[in-house]
Amino acid sequence: MRSLHAAARDCLLEPDVDAKLDATRQTAAAWRCGDLVAGDGPEPERVSEPGRPGQPRLVPPRELPRRGPQSIQGRAALLHAVCHIEFNAINLAWDAVYRFRGLPTGYYDDWVRIAAEETRHFALLRRHLVSLGHDYGDFDAHDGLWELAVRTDHDPLVRMALVPRVMEARGLDVTPGMRDRLSSVGDSTAAAILETILADEVGHVEAGSRWFRHLCGQRGEEPEATYHGLVAEYLRGPVKPPLNRPARLAGGFTEAELDYLEAHA
């Protein structure tokens, strides 16, 4: 029986966008049907750069222009930025499957499902982007998400603390505002897509919270203190307010964690 980790690596390293989407759907279906097995296998290799197309051009975040939705071009640039996040999120989910071995089956269930959901998000956004006269790769983007993935590839506890519970949780904070701005300029399709993404991302953050606490329990570490320490160690600056407290609570944050983040914002 084929290894889930090998299949995840293939998805992760596939550079063609459409082939990556197809491979993700097929791998997720094979895992659900029991055609793949999770085991130790060969030691995972560091993936300094995942499979991705030659475009978009990756630049420092400060070089990216402001993306206002008032014009079609600005709206397309804004949606392209979200599309790029979702493409990165597909790679992040597969890396979480490929890289970390010996975890409960439920862990792999979660991250395979999340890879498939991120694929659906990307496809929805890309389809709408095409309707605006653009495609994925037409605008510059930055690589902050993958840079953090590389920095956390040594430990699943650190990965769960910082990618779902910092980077993806940031989406819970900013997506409602983007949704409302897009709705205000009459783009009800984009607003509905962001509403779908927001609902799913709560579940993604919750999976990160759950496995972070599972790993803390295995190691005898207190979750809140551990989370605070990792945020202070790895982040270049404080988490930006305001926080979407209801969504973050649904995503597995505690009131004390949110109080800490707001106090240090």
Give yes or no for residue 206 having a pLDDT over 80. yes
- Ordered by start, the domain boundaries in the chain are 71-263
Instruction: Choose which CATH entry (3.30.470.20, 1.20.1260.10, 3.10.105.10, 1.20.1300.10) describes domain 71-263.
Output: 1.20.1260.10
- As a whole number, the mean pLDDT across the chain is 94
Residue 65 has pLDDT above 80, yes or no: no
State if pTM tops 0.75. Answer: yes
Averaged over 87-92, what is the pLDDT?
96
Centroid of chain to Cα 254: 21
Q: Which residues contact 246 (CB under 8 A, 6 or more apart)?
A: none
Say if residues 139 and 226 touch (Cβ distance below 8 Å): no
Give the E-state strand segments of 74-195 in sequence order.
none
Task: Tell me: pLDDT of 144 over 90.
Answer: no
> Binning pLDDT at 50, 70 and 90, where does residue 194 land?
very high
Which tens digit of pLDDT belongs to each residue from 1-16? 889 999 999 999 999 9
Q: How confident is the model at residue 39 (pLDDT cuts 50, 70, 90)?
A: confident
70: left (phi over 0), alpha (psi -120 to 50) or beta: alpha
Say how many CA atoms lie within 13 Å of 127 toward its Cβ: 9
The whole-number pLDDT of residue 40 equals 67
Residue 236 has a pLDDT of 78
Helix or strand run (H / E) with residue 3: strand 2-3
Q: How many CB atoms lie within 10 A of CB 9?
A: 22
pLDDT tens for 223-260 read 999 999 999 999 877 788 899 999 999 999 999 999 99
Indicate the pLDDT class of residue 164, thresholds 50, 70 and 90. very high
Which are the contacts of 128, defined by CB distance < 8 A and separation ≥ 6?
Answer: 79, 189, 190, 193
Q: How far apart are CA 98 and CA 93, in angstroms?
A: 9
Cβ neighbors of 232 (< 8 A, separation 6 or more) are none
Rounded to the nearest 10 degrees, the angle between the axes of helix 4-13 and helix 105-131 is 20
CB of 128 closer than 8 Å to CB of 197: no
Residue 58 DSSP SS3: strand
Is 221 exposed, middle or buried (CB count within 10 Å of its CB: 0-12, 13-18, 19+)? middle
Cis-peptide into 15, omega within 30 deg: no
